[in-house]
Structure 1
Amino acid sequence: MYKPRKFLRGVAVVLSLAMSLGLAAGCGNSQASKTTSSDKPYAGTQLRVVFANHPWSDALKAQLPEFEQKTGIKVNAENYFEDQLTQKLTVELTSGSTTIDAFMFRPLQEGKLFATNGWLNDINSYAQKDTAWNLGDFNKGAIGTVTMNQKLYGIPIVTEREIMYYRKDILQENNIPVPKTLDELVAAAKKLNNPDKGIYGFVARGQRSPAVTQFSSFLYSNGGDFAKDGKASINTPEAIKAYQTYGDLLRSYGPPGTLNMAWPQAFAVFQQGKAVFLTDADSLYTNLTDPKKSTVSDKVGFAQFPAGTAGSKPYNITSWALGMNAKSKNQEATWEFIKWATSKEQVLKMQQAGNPGARESVWNDPEGLKNFPKEYADTVKASMKDSVDHDRPVVIDIGPARDAVGGAIQAAIQGQDVTAAANAGNTALQAIIDKEKK
């Protein structure tokens, strides 16, 4: 005989079981399971973290099992080359993707675009409330790079500054002290320049766009900047002086082919023992100290960027940061990951692996310096004190902006009319700034 009540009770049991299984299966996508313990509130959460192919991410991924065991959070990591990463993030974040939780990004390359489009979460509230994690421990310049309109759009993970590399042996042989000012650098480069013997006084980037970041420290140290109060300022007297100094060094005391040099070509000249001075990023120092790459690996000295009329003001930037997708459904758990990845303990491990971090406590810890040459570490620490948090114009359309600045650099190297080139570049840069205000 048909018994509807028993049938309905059976359906209820099946539905109840199905719902239970469904909830269990779905807990990986939820912020946390209801059955998690208080010390692992986000256990069962799965995070999608998108990394760049970079030594920092390689070192961090080796530590992920520790984080997963500690928190119960599963990190699903993806890796891409720099340009692929930018394209990947742009496509997914434009579509409103909620599946990416955290990602690496370059603040001065794409940070303003990502922030303006609402793709980066302002994590100030998270950072401020975690007092033990200590936001105040991060270097001011590095934090400035990831701060826009008083909003914190990322946590610094890799930093760099412009420093001066020099040949210790050549300076000692000629009884010349390490230049502390730009005037002293010009005088020393002039005295030691000897093309007949294949030795050039100075080498640096001369290619139009790549030279901009390294020119920036010349600009700041002479009291200039790319823009001030929303107005392009690369044709001011301070900027003209910076252009002329940079151009004169490369035109008069640099090697042939300077106009085509990005960092690999400039470093190659120094590696081959053909240059006395080089100004460039401190993060690239192992290219000169590695005996497999450099013929002068044991003769390399490190010094703070020489002072101009405004003092020594090198750029001091966050080259890579870790940000949170503003539309992530796992924001609390994502902050747990970011907090762990940028904790003092992890920054120490990353720095010991050769990735210069942003925590001042780690730079003041002998353990954080033990794998760096002493003179290098001292130079980096000194360079952090009075520095500038950007190394290019802070705009979204960065490619054309760099070209606008770089035109006068190349004009100076070629001995052309620097003022005319700077005026033209200033007009072009102002047009970019004005367009982005609309």
Structure 2
Amino acid sequence: MKTFKKGMIACAASALLLTTACGGGASGQAGGKEAGKTAKPFEGKKITVFVQSHPWTDTIKGALPEFEAATGMKVDIQGFSDTQLQQKLAVQFTSASESPDVFMFRPYMDKILYAKNGWTTPLDDYVKKDPNYDFNDFVKSAVDENMANNKLMGIPIFSDQFVMYYRKDILEKKGISVPKTLDELKEAAKKVHDPANDLNGFVARGERNALVVGVSSYLFAEGGDFMKGDFTTGATAAVNTPEAISGFQIYADLLKNYAPQGVLNMAWPQAAGIFAQGKAAFYTEVASVYQNVTDPKKSLISDKVGFAMFPAGKNGMKPFNVAAWSLGINSKTPNKDASWAFIQWATNKENVLKVQRNGVPGTRSSVWEKKEGTETYPQDLAATIKETMKIGIGHNVPQLISVGEARDTVGSIVVKAVLGEDIKAAADKANAELQAIIDKDKTK
């Protein structure tokens, strides 16, 4: 079995170069003399991979020796903090460096800039070369988020779904059903809000830049979005439409009326901390941080947390499902085939399952259908993630080049509304500023 497994790794790695090397299916011939000629198609090759320090990275590093032994390739995986990774990539790309060969990036933040500057290698042809890779198994919204100029710029490696966290014990005590609409969420938050006893009805991101991810599903649920049209073919700012303002208003009202003091300074770690301390009844956030509130070492309410679909608005149930991080190939690397062999291996079904079992939501549909793919998650969370993947919106921030600047602009609408300023005036001002950013980006 071990020999066969290594043979399959070698076959996957050599698919681009030796299209017939894997003939014979499960015959396990990787150990024979003939197989020996093709079992290490990348003998002597070395590639460098820049990644974020993350549980995904730890899992892949743990499996790497087998891949190297089967392919003859050496893989130097270098991990950095999020900020360090962005800085390192910026230096390497702007200097037209051949290294790193492979890199981890945030498609929702980086794909348009990277594609426009020619820093990434389109992968459309690579994913078609080996049918066993089963590219169609990847969740569509996660793939869509890696598209720029109608070309595939990266392979999604893990995902984020926007869900609702809630306190099962509090809802049971109060006789409140799990909210299915945003109106029901507001009513439920109001009923349980009891700041005198250190219990808030709601908590979520309130810091100006961070909250844009949090508010996006509220916009979608009300029928709004950040922009109309596609940036590459022509887009206009849309944060002051009635639908968008409605979404901003609901989120702002929840923060203003039912969240703890200081919420405008909170990104997700601080909001998760409030919820984990048992000081809030509802929390809307990405599913991938669930261990922060279900791990007994981190949470006072670890056995009291429930998960449900993000509630529906006037436009229905529209939570986002995005590729949080993806793998791309440097357009300047001379090792494109070796680089793809690594990506193909790292994102095959077996490794996605390993990563997912370690708490990192993967982007392959088949893995979510396996018992092994969901049994390490709370049952209601797994069901919620699977459903969100089917219906999710494939972005959660404005889709342009200057994403950070745009987030600051959009987030100001909620901040001003929480502080009591006129939300329509705030949205009109932000819309003009966002349009200016769009126009400026088009000249880059």
| C-alpha distance after superposition, 1:342-384 (max 9, x if no partner) | 0001101111111111000001111111111111100101111
Give me the whole-angstrom Cα distance separating, in 2, the residues matched to 1:412 and 1:246: 10
Give me the whole-angstrom Cα distance separating, in 1, the residues matched to 2:242 and 2:272: 30
Give me the whole-angstrom Cα distance separating, in 2, the residues matched to 1:256 and 1:214: 18
Deviation at 1:118, TM superposition (A): 0.5
SS of equivalent residue, structure 1 residue 41: coil
Return the match for 1:284 from 269, 285, 289.
289
Give me the whole-angstrom Cα distance separating, in 2, the residues matched to 1:75 and 1:399: 32
1:301-380 alignment, distance < 5 Å? 301-380=306-385
1:15-414 alignment, distance < 5 Å? 37-229=37-229, 230-414=235-419
Amino acid at match of 2:423: V
SS of equivalent residue, structure 1 residue 317: strand
Task: Indicate conservation of the 8 Å contact 2:121/2:331, yes or no.
Answer: yes
| C-alpha distance after superposition, 1:315-339 (max 9, x if no partner) | 1111111110111111111111100
More moved, 123-132 vs 160-169: 123-132
Task: Indicate conservation of the 8 Å contact 1:210/1:262, yes or no.
Answer: yes
Give me the whole-angstrom Cα distance separating, in 2, the residues matched to 1:57 and 1:45: 21
Deviation at 1:415, TM superposition (A): 2.5
Q: TM-score, normalised by structure 2?
A: 0.89
Residue 431 of structure 2 corresponds to 426
Give me the whole-angstrom Cα distance separating, in 1, the residues matched to 2:419 and 2:130: 53
| C-alpha distance after superposition, 1:261-309 (max 9, x if no partner) | 1112211211111111000111100000011111111100000100001
Amino acid at match of 2:48: R
Deviation at 1:37, TM superposition (A): 2.0
Task: Indicate conservation of the 8 Å contact 2:226/2:397, yes or no.
Answer: yes
Q: Which runs of 4+ in 1 moved over 3 A?
A: none
Give me the whole-angstrom Cα distance separating, in 2, the residues matched to 1:167 and 1:77: 40
Task: Indicate conservation of the 8 Å contact 1:202/1:275, yes or no.
Answer: yes
| C-alpha distance after superposition, 1:59-105 (max 9, x if no partner) | 10011001111111111221211111111111111111113211111
Deviation at 1:189, TM superposition (A): 0.7
Aligned-residue Cα RMSD (Å) equals 1.5
SS of equivalent residue, structure 1 residue 132: helix
| C-alpha distance after superposition, 1:379-420 (max 9, x if no partner) | 101111111111100111112100110111112212220000
Amino acid at match of 2:441: E
Alignment size in residue pairs = 406
Give me the whole-angstrom Cα distance separating, in 2, the residues matched to 1:373 and 1:176: 21
Task: Indicate conservation of the 8 Å contact 2:111/2:148, yes or no.
Answer: no
Amino acid at match of 2:126: Y
Residue 232 of structure 2 corresponds to none
Amino acid at match of 1:75: V
Give me the whole-angstrom Cα distance separating, in 2, the residues matched to 1:268 and 1:336: 40
Amino acid at match of 1:393: P
Residue 11 of structure 1 corresponds to none
Q: TM-score, normalised by structure 1?
A: 0.91
Task: Indicate conservation of the 8 Å contact 1:246/1:413, yes or no.
Answer: no
Give me the whole-angstrom Cα distance separating, in 2, the residues matched to 1:99 and 1:407: 38
Amino acid at match of 1:96: A
Amino acid at match of 2:129: K
| C-alpha distance after superposition, 1:230-260 (max 9, x if no partner) | 0100000001101110111111111111111
SS of equivalent residue, structure 1 residue 136: helix
Percentage identity across aligned positions? 50
SS of equivalent residue, structure 1 residue 384: helix
Give me the whole-angstrom Cα distance separating, in 1, the residues matched to 2:386 and 2:378: 12
Task: Indicate conservation of the 8 Å contact 1:240/1:418, yes or no.
Answer: yes
Give me the whole-angstrom Cα distance separating, in 1, the residues matched to 2:210 and 2:337: 39
SS of equivalent residue, structure 2 residue 38: coil
Give me the whole-angstrom Cα distance separating, in 2, the residues matched to 1:254 and 1:354: 28
Give me the whole-angstrom Cα distance separating, in 1, the residues matched to 2:187 and 2:411: 25
Give me the whole-angstrom Cα distance separating, in 2, the residues matched to 1:130 and 1:238: 44
Amino acid at match of 2:46: Q
Give me the whole-angstrom Cα distance separating, in 2, the residues matched to 1:409 and 1:133: 43
Deviation at 1:38, TM superposition (A): 2.6
Task: Indicate conservation of the 8 Å contact 2:52/2:104, yes or no.
Answer: yes
Deviation at 1:41, TM superposition (A): 2.2
SS of equivalent residue, structure 1 residue 415: coil
Amino acid at match of 1:162: F
Mark the structure with the bigger radius of gyration. 1
Task: Indicate conservation of the 8 Å contact 1:247/1:414, yes or no.
Answer: no
